[in-house]
Amino acid sequence: MKPIYLAPLEGVTDNIYRNTFLRYYGGVAKMFTPFLSPCSTHKFTTRETEEIDPARNDVRIVVPQIIANSSEHFLWAAGEIIDRGFGEINFNLGCPSGTVVPKKKGSGLLFFPDLLDRILYDIFAALPSMCPPSTKSGVPDADTPGTDIPDSATPGTNIPGAYVPAAGTPATGSAPGPDSSMPKISVKTRLGKEDPDEFYEILEIFNKYPISEITVHPRIQKDFYKEPIRPEYVDFALEHSKAPIVFNGEIKSVDDIRRVEAEHPGLTAIMLGRGLITNPELALHYRKISATPESTRSDILNDAESLSRMSSGDTAPDGHGISDADRFRAFHDDLLAQYVERLSGDKPVLHRMKEFWALWQEAFPGNATALKQIRKAKSVAEYRSASSRILCKPIS
Ligand SMILES: Cc1cc2nc3c(=O)[nH]c(=O)nc-3n(C[C@H](O)[C@H](O)[C@H](O)COP(=O)(O)O)c2cc1C
């Protein structure tokens, strides 16, 4: 059985979603924040500050993600994150968005291998001087998964600027090796911009540094989220990467998870995005099925299947749909109540809930009219009435 990670999804997996998901479902080993985008002001936005607030996050399993085109900005944000007790920081090298890529951020940085190399060099050179605070409340024990915080670490945080090698010193990857006292830096990457073979050079660069984990979303920038994935490049990574490899992309069912696990031996974990939002039971189902002896697995699959059909009309195999309608309704109502409380006015609440339904709708086929009403809802009251037409259907 592989650990399952919840992928970062901007506009979807914020701290409210993550905490509510954990309360009702869980089954994941790590949850990534949508990207934080530090800049020269060295100030987080209110939203970004909330995303890394230790009072709103379990720092043992939440991994803040940074998108940046400069080591200076990355290191400033990393210092802030380490100071709050997180043990891992993820570097976004995958975002394909047209607003991000021209700034040499996200997958845009993959177009500039020398710059990427230099930024990674600077980050890993500066990292040893960034001391995790070991004595703050809420900071996990050294043996907590996902963290390696030594007892001897100095409280407080030393936030250095970027390390700049002496003039003429090439960034050849002679940065310090892994050290258990250093915060972990992981990477979430695409294969390149125009041609997936760009990945060979990118992986060579990654291999120069003590990256703790590489999540590969096997698409190029131009593929956005729709073109078919290229899983053979994950096999290349598994064979040639020094860092452990995590698979991400187009996994929507327990069958998919098990197929990916079987087809790519050696994966450290599997990251689920839209599939886990659409069906928040997915990680739990996978764990349950994987922990069950082969001989009795078909019973569980059959149960999940029939429950799925009863609650959602979904006829896909292996618990593709949501099996526990009551739990999902409570989860939905809790999310809605929190957004109503935290956001001001109906508009942002509706925006948020409609983003969810763009994914949830797949789990509720046969509800075209109510789904249209949800999309058209202009007030929370209209939204409640439309969503209850789907969520309050009795199981029969
Ligand atoms: C609406 C949306 C927002 C996303 N936001 C982020 C993000 O903030 N950081 C990131 O690394 N990836 C982001 N992604 C990419 C996902 O993490 C994931 O790599 C992608 O959806 C493919 O995985 P999936 O097929 O399991 O959904 C986003 C994807 C979508 C659809």
pLDDT bracket for residue 390 (50, 70, 90)? very high
According to DSSP, the residues that pair with 66 across neighbouring strands are 36, 91
CA dihedral 229, 234, 237, 238 (to 10 degrees): 180
Cα 176 to ligand 1 centroid, rounded to whole Å? 31
Provide the 3-class DSSP secondary structure of residue 342.
helix
Residue to mutate, 230, 274, 277, 356, ligand 1, most ligand atoms under 8 Å from C-beta:
274
Same structural domain, 162 and 50: yes
Q: Which carries the bigger pLDDT value, residue 214 or residue 161?
A: 214
Residue-wise pLDDT for 62-88, tens only, equals 999 999 999 999 999 999 999 999 999
What three-state secondary structure class fits 350? helix
Q: Whose CA is nearest to atom 3 of ligand 1?
A: 9
> Is 321 within a domain?
yes
Please tell me the distance from the alpha carbon of residue 292 to that of residue 297, in angstroms, as a whole number: 6
- The mean per-residue pLDDT over the stretch 274-284 comes to 97
- Would you say residue 64 lies in a domain? yes
Interatomic CA distance for residues 329 and 30, integer angstroms:
24
Cα distance between residue 306 and residue 320, in whole Å: 11
**Domain end: 227, 249, 271, which one?**
249
Confidence of residue 392 (pLDDT cuts 50, 70, 90): confident
CATH code, 187: 3.20.20
233 & 348 share domain: no
User: Do 212 and 117 reside in the same domain of the chain?
Assistant: yes
Question: Is the pLDDT confidence value at 130 over 70?
Answer: yes
Q: What is the average pLDDT value for the chain, to the nearest integer?
A: 85
pTM of the shown model: 0.86
d(CA 376, CA 370): 10
Q: Is residue 32 classed as helix, strand or coil in its secondary structure?
A: strand
349 confidence band (pLDDT: 50, 70, 90): very high
Beta carbons of 354 and 290 less than 8 angstroms apart: no
CB 224 within 8 A of CB 193: no
| pLDDT above 60 for 188 | yes
Q: What does the pLDDT read at residue 292?
A: 80
CA-closest residue to ligand 1 atom 2: 9
Tell how far the Cα of 177 is from the centroid of ligand 1, in angstroms. Answer: 30
* 58, 103, 240 from 203: Cα distances, Å: 31, 22, 8
* Percentage of residues in the chain having pLDDT higher than 70: 80
Are 245 and 318 found together in one domain? no
Convert 229-261 to b/e letters by CB count within 10 Å (16 or more is b): bbbebbebbbeebebbbbbbbbbbbbbbbbebb
230 near 269, Cβ under 8 Å?
no
Same domain membership, residue 245 and residue 172: yes
Q: In this structure, what are the phi and psi dihedrals at residue 151, rounded to the nearest 5 degrees?
A: -60, -30
- The pLDDT value given to residue 293: 77
Residues with CB under 6 A from ligand 1: 7-12, 34-35, 65, 92, 94-95, 188, 217, 225, 248-251, 272-275
Check residues 292 and 257 and name the one with the higher pLDDT.
257
Is 302 within a domain?
no
Whose alpha carbon is nearest atom 28 of ligand 1?
9
At 82-97, the pLDDT tens digits run 999 999 999 999 999 9
Provide the pLDDT confidence category of residue 318 given band limits of 50, 70 and 90: very low
For the CA atoms of 101, 104, 107, 110, what is the dihedral angle to 10 degrees? Answer: 140
| Alpha carbon of 175 to ligand 1 centroid (Å) | 30
Place of tokens 């709708």: 361
* Count of domains for the chain: 2
CA-nearest residue for atom 26, ligand 1, is 273
Tens-place pLDDT, residues 280-295: 999 999 999 998 877 6
At residue 396 the predicted structure's pLDDT band, cuts being 50, 70 and 90, is very low
Centre of ligand 1 to C-alpha 142, Å, is 30
Whether residue 325 sits in one domain with residue 240: no
Domain termination site, one of 226, 249, 272: 249
- Model pLDDT for residues 218-255, shown as the tens digit of each residue: 999 999 998 999 999 999 999 999 999 999 999 999 99
- Report d(CA 63, CA 309) in Å as an integer: 35
Same domain, yes or no: 203 and 67: yes
Domain that includes residue 353, residue range:
314-391
User: 221, 249, 277: which is the final residue of a domain?
Assistant: 249
Identify which of 169, 239, 173 has the alpha carbon closest to the alpha carbon of residue 205.
173
Judge contact between 350 and 382, C-beta under 8 A.
Answer: no
134 pLDDT band, cuts 50/70/90, is low
Report the alpha-carbon distance of residue 370 to residue 132 in Å, rounded.
50
CA nearest neighbour of 127 among 60, 62, 175: 175
Alpha helix ranges (H) inside the chain: 15-24, 46-51, 71-83, 113-126, 198-206, 232-240, 254-263, 274-278, 282-290, 294-312, 325-342, 346-360, 368-376, 380-391
Note whether residue 89 is domain-resident: yes
Both 231 and 330 in one domain: the answer is no
Residues 235 and 336 placed together within one structural domain of the fold? no
